Structure 1
Amino acid sequence: MAQFHPLLGLCVLITMTISHLGCVTAVAYRAPAVYRPSPWTLAHATFYGDESAASTMGGSCGYGNVVTNGYGTNTAALSSAIYNNGFACGQCFQIRCVQSPWCSKSIATITATNLCPPNWSQNSNNGGWCNPPRTHFDMAKPAFEQIAQWKAGIVPVMYRRVSCVRKGGIRFSFQGNGYWLLVYVMNVGGAGDISQMWVKGTKTAWIKMSHNWGASYQAFATLKGQALSFRITSYTTKQTIVANNVAPANWNLGLTYQANVNFH
Structure 2
Amino acid sequence: MGSLLHSWSLASFFLVLAFIREATSAGYSTPGRFQPSAWRNAFATFYGDDSGNGMGGACGYGNVYSSGYGANTAALSTVLFNNGYGCGQCFQLQCSNSKWCTKGSITVTGTNLCPPNWAQDSNNGGWCNPPRTHFDMSRSAFTKIAQMQAGIVPVTFRRVPCIRTAGLRFNFQGNGYWLLVYVMNVGGGGDVSTMWVKGTKTGWISMSHNWGASYQAFATLGGQALSFKITSYTNHETVIAYNVAPANWQAGMTYGCNVNFH
| TM-score of the pair, normalised by structure 1 | 0.88
Letter in 2 for 1:144: F
Q: Following TM superposition, by how much is the alpha carbon of 1:18 offset from its aligned partner in structure 2, in angstroms?
A: 5.9
Q: Secondary structure at the match of 1:82?
A: helix
Alignment of 1:119-158 (within 5 A): 119-158=117-156
Q: Is the 1:18–1:28 Cα contact (8 Å) retained in structure 2?
A: no
Q: Following TM superposition, by how much is the alpha carbon of 1:33 offset from its aligned partner in structure 2, in angstroms?
A: 3.3
Residue 77 of structure 1, aligned match among 67, 75, 78: 75
Alignment-derived partner of residue 47 in structure 2: 48
Q: Is the 1:20–1:28 Cα contact (8 Å) retained in structure 2?
A: no
Residue 174 of structure 2, aligned match among 170, 173, 176: 176
Q: Structure 1 28/79 Cα, relative in aligned 2: closer, same or farther at 3 Å?
A: closer
Q: Is the 2:175–2:222 Cα contact (8 Å) retained in structure 1?
A: no
Q: Following TM superposition, by how much is the alpha carbon of 1:30 offset from its aligned partner in structure 2, in angstroms?
A: 5.4
Q: Following TM superposition, by how much is the alpha carbon of 1:168 offset from its aligned partner in structure 2, in angstroms?
A: 1.4
Alignment of 1:96-245 (within 5 A): 96-245=94-243
Count of residues paired in the alignment: 247
Structure with larger Rg? 2
Alignment-derived partner of residue 4 in structure 2: none
Distance 1:129 1:29 in 2: 39
Letter in 1 for 2:49: D
Letter in 1 for 2:248: N
Alignment-derived partner of residue 58 in structure 2: 60
Would you say 1:93 and 2:91 are equivalent positions?
yes
Letter in 2 for 1:98: S
Distance 2:56 2:27 in 1: 36
Alignment-derived partner of residue 9 in structure 1: none
Q: Is the 2:228–2:244 Cα contact (8 Å) retained in structure 1?
A: yes
Distance 2:31 2:227 in 1: 18
Q: Following TM superposition, by how much is the alpha carbon of 1:29 offset from its aligned partner in structure 2, in angstroms?
A: 4.3
Q: Is the 2:198–2:227 Cα contact (8 Å) retained in structure 1?
A: yes
Q: Following TM superposition, by how much is the alpha carbon of 1:235 offset from its aligned partner in structure 2, in angstroms?
A: 0.4
More helix by share: 2
Q: Following TM superposition, by how much is the alpha carbon of 1:55 offset from its aligned partner in structure 2, in angstroms?
A: 4.9
Letter in 1 for 2:32: A
Q: Following TM superposition, by how much is the alpha carbon of 1:91 offset from its aligned partner in structure 2, in angstroms?
A: 0.1
Distance 2:220 2:62 in 1: 26
Letter in 1 for 2:141: A
Distance 1:32 1:223 in 2: 32
RMSD of aligned Cα (Å): 2.2
Percent identity of paired positions between Structure 1 and Structure 2: 67
Q: Secondary structure at the match of 1:62?
A: coil
Q: Structure 1 58/27 Cα, relative in aligned 2: closer, same or farther at 3 Å?
A: closer
Distance 2:202 2:17 in 1: 18
Alignment-derived partner of residue 13 in structure 1: none
Q: Following TM superposition, by how much is the alpha carbon of 1:47 offset from its aligned partner in structure 2, in angstroms?
A: 0.5
Residue 252 of structure 2, aligned match among 232, 244, 254: 254
Q: Is the 1:47–1:153 Cα contact (8 Å) retained in structure 2?
A: yes
Q: Is the 1:76–1:112 Cα contact (8 Å) retained in structure 2?
A: yes
Q: Which runs of 5+ in 1 are unaligned?
A: 4-16
